[in-house]
Protein backbone atom coordinates (compact mmCIF):
# COMPACT_ATOMS: atom_id res chain seq x y z
CA UNK A 1 0.00 0.00 0.00
CA UNK A 2 2.88 2.35 0.91
CA UNK A 3 4.67 1.73 -2.39
CA UNK A 4 1.50 2.16 -4.43
CA UNK A 5 0.89 5.53 -2.75
CA UNK A 6 4.43 6.67 -3.54
CA UNK A 7 4.02 5.48 -7.12
CA UNK A 8 0.77 7.41 -7.47
CA UNK A 9 2.40 10.54 -6.03
CA UNK A 10 5.33 10.18 -8.43
CA UNK A 11 3.00 9.87 -11.43
CA UNK A 12 1.02 12.91 -10.26
CA UNK A 13 4.15 15.03 -9.84
CA UNK A 14 5.54 13.95 -13.20
CA UNK A 15 2.31 15.06 -14.87
CA UNK A 16 2.63 18.60 -13.53
CA UNK A 17 4.18 21.04 -15.95
CA UNK A 18 6.80 23.47 -14.70
CA UNK A 19 6.44 27.22 -14.86
CA UNK A 20 9.54 29.05 -16.04
CA UNK A 21 10.04 32.77 -15.55
CA UNK A 22 10.25 34.73 -18.77
CA UNK A 23 12.83 37.30 -19.80
CA UNK A 24 11.15 40.54 -20.80
CA UNK A 25 12.90 43.44 -22.53
CA UNK A 26 10.96 46.65 -21.86
CA UNK A 27 11.41 49.77 -24.00
CA UNK A 28 9.12 52.37 -22.39
CA UNK A 29 8.19 55.93 -23.27
CA UNK A 30 9.08 58.55 -20.69
CA UNK A 31 6.84 60.99 -18.86
CA UNK A 32 3.31 59.97 -17.93
CA UNK A 33 3.57 56.93 -20.22
CA UNK A 34 6.04 55.45 -17.74
CA UNK A 35 3.37 55.45 -15.02
CA UNK A 36 1.28 53.06 -17.14
CA UNK A 37 4.24 50.86 -18.01
CA UNK A 38 5.43 50.63 -14.41
CA UNK A 39 2.10 49.07 -13.38
CA UNK A 40 2.76 46.19 -15.79
CA UNK A 41 6.38 45.91 -14.65
CA UNK A 42 5.30 45.58 -11.02
CA UNK A 43 2.88 42.79 -11.96
CA UNK A 44 5.45 40.98 -14.12
CA UNK A 45 8.00 41.20 -11.31
CA UNK A 46 5.51 39.78 -8.81
CA UNK A 47 5.11 36.75 -11.11
CA UNK A 48 8.85 36.11 -11.02
CA UNK A 49 9.75 37.32 -14.51
CA UNK A 50 13.16 38.84 -15.23
CA UNK A 51 12.80 42.37 -16.56
CA UNK A 52 15.30 44.61 -18.32
CA UNK A 53 14.39 48.24 -19.06
CA UNK A 54 16.05 50.31 -21.78
CA UNK A 55 16.14 53.97 -20.73
CA UNK A 56 17.62 57.20 -22.03
CA UNK A 57 20.50 58.86 -20.21
CA UNK A 58 18.39 61.98 -19.55
CA UNK A 59 15.21 60.21 -18.51
CA UNK A 60 12.73 62.26 -16.48
CA UNK A 61 11.07 59.45 -14.51
CA UNK A 62 12.65 56.08 -15.33
CA UNK A 63 15.07 55.27 -12.53
CA UNK A 64 18.39 53.67 -13.38
CA UNK A 65 18.35 51.52 -10.24
CA UNK A 66 15.23 49.67 -9.17
CA UNK A 67 14.39 46.45 -7.29
CA UNK A 68 11.91 45.65 -10.07
CA UNK A 69 14.28 45.52 -13.01
CA UNK A 70 17.80 45.91 -14.31
CA UNK A 71 18.38 48.82 -16.64
CA UNK A 72 20.33 49.56 -19.78
CA UNK A 73 21.08 53.27 -20.12
CA UNK A 74 21.62 54.64 -23.61
CA UNK A 75 23.06 58.08 -24.36
CA UNK A 76 20.44 60.37 -25.90
CA UNK A 77 22.71 63.34 -26.51
CA UNK A 78 21.75 66.90 -25.62
CA UNK A 79 18.46 67.46 -23.88
CA UNK A 80 16.46 70.53 -22.94
CA UNK A 81 15.55 70.13 -19.26
CA UNK A 82 12.99 72.95 -19.59
CA UNK A 83 11.22 71.29 -22.51
CA UNK A 84 7.90 70.66 -20.72
CA UNK A 85 8.16 73.86 -18.66
CA UNK A 86 8.32 75.93 -21.85
CA UNK A 87 5.98 73.78 -23.94
CA UNK A 88 2.86 73.69 -21.77
CA UNK A 89 2.58 77.46 -21.14
CA UNK A 90 2.82 78.05 -24.88
CA UNK A 91 -0.02 75.60 -25.56
CA UNK A 92 -2.21 77.18 -22.89
CA UNK A 93 -1.52 80.63 -24.31
CA UNK A 94 -2.69 79.56 -27.78
CA UNK A 95 -5.77 77.75 -26.45
CA UNK A 96 -6.88 80.75 -24.37
CA UNK A 97 -7.01 82.85 -27.53
CA UNK A 98 -10.08 80.88 -28.65
CA UNK A 99 -10.78 78.45 -31.47
CA UNK A 100 -10.03 79.78 -34.94
CA UNK A 101 -8.33 78.49 -38.06
CA UNK A 102 -5.14 80.43 -37.36
CA UNK A 103 -5.01 79.39 -33.71
CA UNK A 104 -5.44 75.75 -34.71
CA UNK A 105 -2.63 76.14 -37.24
CA UNK A 106 -0.41 77.72 -34.58
CA UNK A 107 -1.25 74.92 -32.16
CA UNK A 108 -0.48 72.27 -34.78
CA UNK A 109 2.82 73.97 -35.64
CA UNK A 110 3.81 74.09 -31.96
CA UNK A 111 2.99 70.41 -31.51
CA UNK A 112 4.91 69.51 -34.64
CA UNK A 113 7.97 71.50 -33.59
CA UNK A 114 8.12 70.09 -30.08
CA UNK A 115 7.41 66.50 -30.98
CA UNK A 116 10.00 66.72 -33.72
CA UNK A 117 12.52 67.45 -30.96
CA UNK A 118 11.34 64.39 -29.02
CA UNK A 119 11.51 62.20 -32.12
CA UNK A 120 15.04 63.43 -32.80
CA UNK A 121 16.09 62.34 -29.31
CA UNK A 122 14.48 58.92 -29.83
CA UNK A 123 16.23 58.58 -33.19
CA UNK A 124 19.56 59.45 -31.58
CA UNK A 125 18.96 56.87 -28.87
CA UNK A 126 17.99 54.17 -31.39
CA UNK A 127 20.97 54.92 -33.63
CA UNK A 128 23.29 54.77 -30.61
CA UNK A 129 21.93 51.34 -29.70
CA UNK A 130 22.16 49.91 -33.21
CA UNK A 131 25.69 51.24 -33.75
CA UNK A 132 26.91 49.73 -30.47
CA UNK A 133 27.84 46.18 -31.52
CA UNK A 134 28.72 45.15 -27.97
CA UNK A 135 25.29 46.23 -26.71
CA UNK A 136 23.42 44.59 -29.59
CA UNK A 137 25.34 41.33 -29.18
CA UNK A 138 24.60 41.31 -25.45
CA UNK A 139 20.88 41.81 -26.16
CA UNK A 140 20.92 38.92 -28.62
CA UNK A 141 22.87 36.67 -26.24
CA UNK A 142 20.41 37.45 -23.42
CA UNK A 143 17.74 35.45 -25.33
CA UNK A 144 14.77 37.56 -24.29
CA UNK A 145 11.32 36.06 -24.79
CA UNK A 146 9.45 39.23 -25.78
CA UNK A 147 9.81 42.97 -26.18
CA UNK A 148 7.23 45.02 -24.25
CA UNK A 149 7.05 48.61 -25.46
CA UNK A 150 4.91 51.72 -25.70
CA UNK A 151 4.60 52.60 -29.41
CA UNK A 152 4.12 56.30 -28.70
CA UNK A 153 7.67 56.42 -30.06
CA UNK A 154 9.38 53.94 -32.34
CA UNK A 155 12.51 52.76 -30.51
CA UNK A 156 10.94 49.60 -29.06
CA UNK A 157 9.30 48.65 -32.37
CA UNK A 158 12.59 48.93 -34.25
CA UNK A 159 14.54 47.09 -31.56
CA UNK A 160 12.09 44.16 -31.52
CA UNK A 161 12.33 43.93 -35.31
CA UNK A 162 16.13 44.04 -35.16
CA UNK A 163 16.28 41.28 -32.53
CA UNK A 164 13.55 39.21 -34.19
CA UNK A 165 11.49 38.99 -31.00
CA UNK A 166 7.71 38.87 -30.42
CA UNK A 167 6.34 42.36 -29.86
CA UNK A 168 3.75 43.32 -27.24
CA UNK A 169 2.34 46.84 -26.93
CA UNK A 170 1.16 48.77 -23.90
CA UNK A 171 -0.68 51.28 -26.00
CA UNK A 172 -3.13 54.13 -26.20
CA UNK A 173 -1.30 56.25 -28.76
CA UNK A 174 1.16 55.50 -31.53
CA UNK A 175 3.50 58.05 -33.10
CA UNK A 176 0.69 59.22 -35.35
CA UNK A 177 -2.47 59.01 -33.31
CA UNK A 178 -4.88 56.64 -31.59
CA UNK A 179 -3.83 52.99 -31.67
CA UNK A 180 -6.93 51.61 -33.39
CA UNK A 181 -6.04 53.46 -36.58
CA UNK A 182 -3.08 51.11 -36.98
CA UNK A 183 -4.40 47.76 -35.80
CA UNK A 184 -8.04 47.76 -36.95
CA UNK A 185 -10.12 49.09 -39.86
CA UNK A 186 -11.06 52.68 -39.04
CA UNK A 187 -13.37 54.18 -41.70
CA UNK A 188 -12.96 57.96 -41.40
CA UNK A 189 -16.60 58.38 -42.40
CA UNK A 190 -17.63 57.59 -38.83
CA UNK A 191 -14.42 57.08 -36.80
CA UNK A 192 -13.36 60.56 -35.61
CA UNK A 193 -9.68 61.42 -35.55
CA UNK A 194 -8.67 62.19 -31.97
CA UNK A 195 -8.21 65.89 -31.33
CA UNK A 196 -10.79 67.17 -33.82
CA UNK A 197 -13.55 67.27 -31.17
CA UNK A 198 -15.88 65.28 -33.44
CA UNK A 199 -18.19 62.39 -32.62
CA UNK A 200 -19.19 59.39 -34.71
CA UNK A 201 -22.18 61.46 -35.91
CA UNK A 202 -20.69 63.93 -38.42
CA UNK A 203 -22.03 66.30 -41.03
CA UNK A 204 -20.65 66.23 -44.57
CA UNK A 205 -18.23 69.08 -43.91
CA UNK A 206 -17.05 67.41 -40.70
CA UNK A 207 -16.49 64.14 -42.58
CA UNK A 208 -14.41 65.96 -45.20
CA UNK A 209 -12.34 67.56 -42.46
CA UNK A 210 -11.94 64.21 -40.72
CA UNK A 211 -10.82 62.46 -43.94
CA UNK A 212 -8.32 65.20 -44.80
CA UNK A 213 -6.79 64.88 -41.33
CA UNK A 214 -6.83 61.09 -41.52
CA UNK A 215 -4.92 60.79 -44.81
CA UNK A 216 -1.85 62.59 -43.47
CA UNK A 217 -1.17 59.61 -41.21
CA UNK A 218 1.49 57.29 -42.65
CA UNK A 219 1.53 54.15 -40.55
CA UNK A 220 4.36 51.68 -40.62
CA UNK A 221 3.96 47.96 -41.24
CA UNK A 222 6.30 47.36 -38.29
CA UNK A 223 3.61 48.66 -35.96
CA UNK A 224 1.01 46.40 -37.54
CA UNK A 225 3.23 43.36 -36.98
CA UNK A 226 2.90 43.58 -33.20
CA UNK A 227 1.65 40.31 -31.70
CA UNK A 228 -0.48 41.73 -28.87
CA UNK A 229 -1.94 45.20 -28.34
CA UNK A 230 -2.72 45.98 -24.68
CA UNK A 231 -5.02 48.99 -25.10
CA UNK A 232 -5.13 51.39 -22.14
CA UNK A 233 -8.79 52.19 -22.68
CA UNK A 234 -12.19 50.58 -22.29
CA UNK A 235 -14.23 49.99 -25.45
CA UNK A 236 -17.43 50.76 -23.51
CA UNK A 237 -16.35 54.44 -23.38
CA UNK A 238 -15.44 54.64 -27.06
CA UNK A 239 -17.53 55.20 -30.15
CA UNK A 240 -18.43 52.00 -31.99
CA UNK A 241 -15.58 50.83 -34.18
CA UNK A 242 -13.99 47.62 -35.48
CA UNK A 243 -11.36 45.89 -33.38
CA UNK A 244 -9.08 42.87 -33.79
CA UNK A 245 -8.57 39.55 -31.95
CA UNK A 246 -5.08 40.50 -30.75
CA UNK A 247 -6.35 43.66 -29.04
CA UNK A 248 -6.74 43.31 -25.26
CA UNK A 249 -8.59 46.15 -23.53
CA UNK A 250 -7.25 46.82 -20.04
CA UNK A 251 -8.89 50.09 -19.04
CA UNK A 252 -8.75 50.56 -15.28
CA UNK A 253 -5.65 48.40 -14.89
CA UNK A 254 -4.12 51.05 -12.61
CA UNK A 255 -7.02 50.82 -10.14
CA UNK A 256 -6.18 49.46 -6.70
CA UNK A 257 -8.29 48.48 -3.65
CA UNK A 258 -9.40 51.50 -1.64
CA UNK A 259 -7.49 52.41 1.53
CA UNK A 260 -8.68 54.49 4.50
CA UNK A 261 -7.87 58.20 4.25
CA UNK A 262 -5.45 59.77 6.75
CA UNK A 263 -7.31 61.32 9.69
CA UNK A 264 -6.67 64.92 8.63
CA UNK A 265 -7.84 64.27 5.08
CA UNK A 266 -10.87 62.32 6.32
CA UNK A 267 -11.94 65.30 8.45
CA UNK A 268 -11.59 67.59 5.43
CA UNK A 269 -13.78 65.31 3.31
CA UNK A 270 -16.44 64.97 6.00
CA UNK A 271 -16.57 68.76 6.42
CA UNK A 272 -17.70 69.17 2.81
CA UNK A 273 -21.34 68.50 3.67
CA UNK A 274 -23.89 68.00 0.91
CA UNK A 275 -21.75 69.65 -1.78
CA UNK A 276 -19.08 66.98 -1.67
CA UNK A 277 -15.43 67.18 -2.70
CA UNK A 278 -13.83 67.97 -6.05
CA UNK A 279 -10.46 66.34 -6.67
CA UNK A 280 -8.54 68.60 -9.02
CA UNK A 281 -5.20 67.94 -10.68
CA UNK A 282 -3.52 69.97 -13.38
CA UNK A 283 -0.01 68.58 -13.06
CA UNK A 284 2.57 71.06 -14.31
CA UNK A 285 -0.24 73.22 -15.74
CA UNK A 286 -1.21 74.56 -12.31
CA UNK A 287 1.49 77.24 -12.30
CA UNK A 288 0.24 78.54 -15.65
CA UNK A 289 -3.39 78.94 -14.54
CA UNK A 290 -4.32 82.67 -14.43
CA UNK A 291 -4.90 83.65 -10.81
CA UNK A 292 -8.17 85.42 -11.65
CA UNK A 293 -9.49 82.23 -13.26
CA UNK A 294 -8.52 80.24 -10.18
CA UNK A 295 -10.37 82.63 -7.84
CA UNK A 296 -13.37 82.65 -10.18
CA UNK A 297 -13.48 78.88 -9.98
CA UNK A 298 -13.39 78.93 -6.17
CA UNK A 299 -16.14 81.59 -6.08
CA UNK A 300 -18.68 79.57 -8.07
CA UNK A 301 -17.83 76.11 -6.72
CA UNK A 302 -19.35 75.38 -3.33
CA UNK A 303 -17.63 72.02 -2.94
CA UNK A 304 -14.41 71.53 -1.08
CA UNK A 305 -11.52 71.43 -3.54
CA UNK A 306 -8.66 69.00 -3.06
CA UNK A 307 -5.67 69.66 -5.29
pLDDT by residue for the chain (307 residues), tens digit each? 455 555 555 555 555 445 567 899 999 988 778 888 999 999 999 999 999 999 988 887 889 899 999 999 988 766 555 555 566 666 666 666 666 667 667 766 776 777 777 777 888 888 888 999 999 999 999 999 999 998 888 888 889 999 999 999 888 877 767 777 777 777 888 888 877 788 888 899 888 888 877 765 544 566 777 888 888 888 777 788 888 888 888 888 878 888 888 888 888 888 877 778 887 776 655 666 667 777 777 777 766 776 6
Nearest to 70 by CA among 133, 152, 120, 138: 138
pLDDT value at position 235? 75
DSSP state at residue 21: P
Edge-to-edge strand ranges of the sheet holding 167-171: 70-74, 50-56, 23-27, 146-149, 167-171, 228-231, 247-249
User: Can you name the CATH fold of 23-80+119-249?
Assistant: Rossmann fold (3.40.50)
pLDDT value at position 219? 45
This prediction has a pTM of 0.65
List every span in the chain annotated with CATH 3.40.50.20: 23-80+119-249
**Do residues 50 and 24 lie in contact, with contact meaning Cβ atoms separated by under 8 Å?**
yes
Amino acid sequence: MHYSSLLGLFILLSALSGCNAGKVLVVPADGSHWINMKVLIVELHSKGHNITVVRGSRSWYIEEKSPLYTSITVDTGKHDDDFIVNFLPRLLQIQRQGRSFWNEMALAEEFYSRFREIQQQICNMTATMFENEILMNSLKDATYDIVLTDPAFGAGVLLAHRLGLPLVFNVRWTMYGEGHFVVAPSPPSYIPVTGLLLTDKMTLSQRVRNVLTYVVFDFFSLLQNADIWHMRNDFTFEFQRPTMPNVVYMGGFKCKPAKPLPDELEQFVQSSGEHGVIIMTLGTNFGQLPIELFYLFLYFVKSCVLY
